[in-house]
Amino acid sequence: MLFPRAPRDLQPNRLTQAVERARASGRPLIDLTLTNPTRAGIRYPDSLLSPLASADALVYDPSPFGLDRARKAVAADYARRGVTVDPDRLVLTASTSEAYSLLFKLVCAASGHEVLVPVPSYPLFDHLTQLDGVVAKPYRLDYHGRWCVDLSDVDDQWSTHTRAVLAVSPNNPTGSILSAGELRALAARCAERHAALIVDEVFVDYPLDKGASAIESQALPPGEGPLTCFLGGLSKSAGLPQVKLGWMYVDGPEVLVEPALERLEFICDTYLSVSTPVQIAAASLIDSGAVVRSEILDRVRGNYAALLDAAALRPAIDVLHAQAGWSAVIRTPATRREEDLIVDLIERDSVLVYPGFFFDFPHEAFLVVSLLPEPAAFADGIRRVMERADA
C-alpha cells in the first residue's frame, strides 16, 4: 500500500510507516485497498492461460496496430456490449497506461502541452503525464447525489496549451459514469478548440446496480466531433492484469482519424510492445474471461450492497452513490483529519483503507475502499471502519 499523494503538512511517510509497523508486528491486516483480482480469491479456470502456449506464436509477424485476428477479437468484444467498431481503427497496446503514453505522444507535440484530468481520480495520471513531459491540469467532478462534470471548471482550466481532455467513465474511485449530455458537452468543447477526447472505459463491465445487465453504450454521432479515443483492456474486462493486453479505438471525423492513425502507426511501430502469444490467444482469453468477469461482478455487487447496509445503521456516515467499478467512497464526520483516522484504523483496528487525499478529493473527510476483497473479510473490515469513523 503506497500513499503517493498527501497534504503538504502531512508528516513524511507517516501512513506508509504505520503500514510497515503493522506488518512487521505480524498482525493480520484486512486490506480494503486490494485492487488485484488475482489475489482476491476469484476463481480462474485452470486452462484459462493455455492458449498462450499456442505454436502459432512461434512465428513473429510484427504489426504496429496488432495482428488482424486479435483486433477482430476485440471488435467482437465491443459487439458484446452493443458497440460496433471497425477493427482497422483499433490499436492494441500492452496496457492502458501505455495507451495513454502513446496518445500523449500523438497529441502533445511540445513540452508544456496540457491535458485536462478529472478530480477526484486515480493518481496514476500524475506519473503518466510527467513521464511524457505533459502538464496535467485538473477539472472538478462535483457530487450532488451523483457525480457530475463541472463544465464551467473545464472552461476555466482550458488554455491555448490544452491538447486533450481525459474522461474516465466509469471513474476510479467515484464509480461515476459520464451522462450522454456530459459526453456531448466535452466532445463539443474538444471539437471547437481542436483538442482530442480520451475516454477510459476499463471498468465498463461492472455496473453496481443489480438491475443492470450492462452499462448503456454511449457513442458520439458517427464521423462527428473531435478525435476521440476509447480505452479498454483485459486487465479489468477479464481480470487479467498480468496478461498485458490493452486497446484503444480511434474515432471521429475521417479528416482527423486518418492522419492520427498514420502518426500512431509510426509511434507503435517504433515500440512493437504487444507480445505475439497474447495476440494469438486474444480471442480465447476474451471469451474465457467472461467467467472471471462474472465472478468479479458478483463480488463487487455483493460487497457494495453489504457496504450500503452497514452505512444505513450509521446516520453520520454516507456512502456516495457509485454506478460502476471496483471502488466505493465513504464520507465520514470531519471530526478528525483523514491521516489520523487512517493511522487509527491501521494501528488500532488492523484495517487498510485509502484516504480521500490520495485521489485529490477537495476537502475532508473521505475514505475509499475496494469492493474486491473476499466477502467475509470485507464485511469485517467495513464494520471496523464504521465503528472507528463514527466513534
The pLDDT of 107-128, averaged and rounded, is 92
Residue 4 lies in a domain: no
Residues 378, 305: Cα–Cα separation, whole Å:
11
| pLDDT of residue 119 exceeding 70 | yes
At 144, which CATH number? 3.40.640.10
Q: Taking a C-beta distance cutoff of 8 angstroms, is the pair 135, 115 a contact? A: yes
Look at strands 90-93 and 246-251 and give their pairing: antiparallel
SS3 262: helix
pLDDT digits over 93-105, tens only? 999 999 999 999 9
Backbone angles phi, psi at 373, to 5 degrees: -55, 160
Looking at the fold, whether 112 and 261 belong to one and the same domain comes out as: yes
pLDDT of residue 218: 65
Residue finishing a domain among 252, 273, 288:
288
pLDDT of residue 212: 64
At 376, which CATH number? 3.90.1150.10
pLDDT of residue 324: 96
Looking at the fold, whether 22 and 68 belong to one and the same domain comes out as: no
pLDDT digits over 63-85, tens only? 999 999 999 999 999 999 989 99
Residue 8 lies in a domain: no
Residue finishing a domain among 267, 288, 309:
288
Residue finishing a domain among 268, 288, 308:
288
Looking at the fold, whether 113 and 227 belong to one and the same domain comes out as: yes
Looking at the fold, whether 103 and 140 belong to one and the same domain comes out as: yes
Which parts of 203-326 are beta strand (E)?
228-233, 246-251, 318-320
Looking at the fold, whether 85 and 21 belong to one and the same domain comes out as: no
pLDDT of residue 217: 61
Which residue's C-alpha cell is 467472461? Answer: 290
Residues 121, 158: Cα–Cα separation, whole Å:
18
pLDDT digits over 13-64, tens only? 788 888 888 888 888 999 999 999 999 999 999 999 999 999 999 999 999 9
Looking at the fold, whether 58 and 29 belong to one and the same domain comes out as: no
pLDDT of residue 9: 45
Residues 101, 128: Cα–Cα separation, whole Å:
7
Q: Taking a C-beta distance cutoff of 8 angstroms, is the pair 250, 284 a contact? A: no
Of all residues in the chain, the percent with pLDDT exceeding 90 is 85
Which residue's C-alpha cell is 485492487? Answer: 35
Residues 250, 360: Cα–Cα separation, whole Å:
29
Looking at the fold, whether 68 and 135 belong to one and the same domain comes out as: yes
- Verify cis geometry, omega within 30 degrees of 0, for the bond prior to 173: yes
Residues 61, 93: Cα–Cα separation, whole Å:
16
Q: Taking a C-beta distance cutoff of 8 angstroms, is the pair 248, 230 a contact? A: yes
Q: Could you tell me which of 389, 99, 29, 56 has the C-alpha nearest to residue 245?
A: 99
Question: Would you state the torsion angle of the CA atoms of residues 306, 307, 311, 313, taken in this order, to the nearest 10 degrees?
Answer: 20
Residue 5 lies in a domain: no
63 Cβ neighbours under 8 A, 6+ residues apart: none
Looking at the fold, whether 207 and 169 belong to one and the same domain comes out as: yes
What single letter denotes the amino acid at residue 91?
Answer: V
pLDDT digits over 270-309, tens only? 999 999 999 999 999 999 999 999 999 999 999 999 999 9
Least confident of 3-12, 206-215, 367-376, 381-390: 3-12
pLDDT confidence bin for 216, thresholds 50/70/90: low
Q: H-type helices in 313-351, by residue range? A: 338-349
pLDDT of residue 215: 67
pLDDT of residue 54: 97
Residue 331: in which H helix or E strand, if any? strand 327-331
Looking at the fold, whether 83 and 95 belong to one and the same domain comes out as: yes
Residue 124 lies in a domain: yes
The grid coordinates of residue 180 equal 450522454
Other CB atoms within 10 A of residue 2 CB:
10
Residue 7 lies in a domain: no
- Verify cis geometry, omega within 30 degrees of 0, for the bond prior to 120: yes
Residues 146, 132: Cα–Cα separation, whole Å:
33
pLDDT of residue 342: 94
Total of domains in the chain:
2
Residue 206 lies in a domain: yes
Angle, CA of 26, 32 and 38, to the nearest 5°: 90
Residue 135 lies in a domain: yes
pLDDT confidence bin for 209, thresholds 50/70/90: confident
Looking at the fold, whether 301 and 190 belong to one and the same domain comes out as: no
Residue 3 lies in a domain: no
Looking at the fold, whether 268 and 364 belong to one and the same domain comes out as: no
Looking at the fold, whether 277 and 168 belong to one and the same domain comes out as: yes
Q: Which structural domain range is residue 274 located in?
A: 50-288
Residues 92, 69: Cα–Cα separation, whole Å:
11
